Structure formats: C-alpha cells, structure tokens
Structure 1
Amino acid sequence: MTQRFHDEDGTLQHLADRLAAAYPDVDARIVEATVDEVSRELRGAKLKTFLPILAERKARLTLDRYRAARSEGEPEGV
C-alpha cells in the first residue's frame, strides 16, 4: 500500500477492504488503486462529511466499469 493511500483513521483502508470483498474477481491492488485515485480526486471537497460515501460510490462505479470491460474482453486498466 502506498503512503499516499494511508489515512489517519483508516477509513480508506476500511473502504478498500470492503470493496475487495465485494469484488473478489478484481485484483486487490486495482481496488486499492481505485480507492486511492478517488480519494485524491475528492481531497479538495469543501464538505468533508460525505467524502467516505462519495468515495465509495465513485469507486464502485469505476470497479463496475472495469469488471464489465474485462468481461467483454477489453484490455485491463482502471
């Protein structure tokens, strides 16, 4: 796990763990990279209260697209 991925209260790690369990067919490194990317995108948000749920929703959309692309035979990538 990258230093950038680490967060003080473990919220992002908990999210990555939940998503890895929900997407067992997706490599855990891809799940972590997705959560990391989403958290960086949302880092500048003014209202921090809803960041965890927004991050989870965006990560799930990304992972769903990744899973669909993989099942259609497209090259891997997030």
Structure 2
Amino acid sequence: MPEETEDAVALLLHVTERLLKAFPGLDPRIVRGAVRTAYADLRYARVRTYLPVLMERRAHDLLSAAEQE
C-alpha cells in the first residue's frame, strides 16, 4: 500500500479492530487483508463521508464469505 495519511491509517486500524472482535475465529491476517482490500476498492471515492462505513461493510462481506469456506 502506498504511503497513507494519518487519518487513513487510523481508519484502517479502527475498522480492523472492530472486525477482529466480530470474527474472532478467523486468522487476523485474513481480517487485515479484507480491510486492505475494502480500502483499496474505495480509496479513490470522490465522496469520502461514508468511506468508513462502506469499507467496513465491504470487509465484513469478504470475511463472512471466508468464514463459510
């Protein structure tokens, strides 16, 4: 991941922590990867107001699919 602003790093850490609690049975590396993937999908959005919630939802969907495997 290219250099990120402090706000982006804080957002990634916050979402990762929340999802680690929501998916305690998954490997933390999988959770971090899902968060990075979700951020990469949305990082160039023009309207950034809802980026945190959209990113968390996207990562949650990825993790739900991984949990079912």
Match of 1:53 in 2: 53
Higher helix share: 2
Query: In the alignment, is residue 24 of structure 1 matched against residue 30 of structure 2?
Result: no
TM-score, L = length of structure 2: 0.87
- Provide structure 1 residue ranges, at least 5 long, that are not aligned to the other structure: 70-78
* Aligned residue-pair number: 67
Measured at CA, do residues 32 and 55 of structure 1 come closer, stay the same or move farther in structure 2, by a change above 3 Å?
same
Partner of 1:8: 6
Q: Which runs of 5+ in 2 are unaligned?
A: none
Runs of 4+ residues over 2 Å off in structure 1 = 3-7
> Which of the pair has more CA radius of gyration?
1
Matching residue's letter, 2:45: A
- Asked which structure has the greater RCO (Cα within 8 Å, sep 6+), the reply is 2
**TM-score under structure 1 normalisation?**
0.78
